[in-house]
């Protein structure tokens, strides 16, 4: 089997943490509080999206927190599927 080749019925999951947020920069715990992504957080999500541009996704999911949704949106837009 060659690199990148999958056997029938196999599935690969890509788990991604949200991009850097304002509270991350301030050293605060976020928990249920939701702060926006920083410019660096947006750039990191876009960079990851470009890095995954050749991966064929069946679906993409995030939690309902704004920071996670924004990270996924930026990632998908950067790979051309958002």
Q: What is the pLDDT of residues 24-72, one digit of tens each?
A: 999 988 777 889 999 999 999 999 999 999 998 899 999 999 999 999 9
Written in H, E and C, the secondary structure of 34-82 is CCCECHHHHHHHHHHHHHCCCCCCCCCCCCCCHHHHHHHHHHHHHCCCC
Which of residues 80 and 38 earns the better pLDDT score? 38
Query: 0.75 exceeded by the pTM?
Result: yes
Beta bridge partners of 21: 37
In this prediction, residue 9 has a pLDDT band, given cuts at 50, 70 and 90, of confident
> Per-domain residue ranges for the chain?
36-52+60-82
């Amino acid at each position: 089997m060659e690199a990148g080749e999958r056997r029938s019925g196999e599935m690969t999951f890509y788990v991604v943490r949200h991009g850097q947020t304002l509270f991350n920069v301030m050293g605060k715990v976020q928990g249920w509080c939701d702060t926006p992504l920083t410019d660096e957080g947006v750039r990191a999500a876009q960079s990851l999206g470009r890095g995954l541009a050749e991966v064929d996704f069946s679906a993409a999911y995030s939690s309902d927190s704004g920071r996670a949704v924004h990270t996924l949106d930026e990632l998908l837009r950067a790979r051309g599927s958002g």
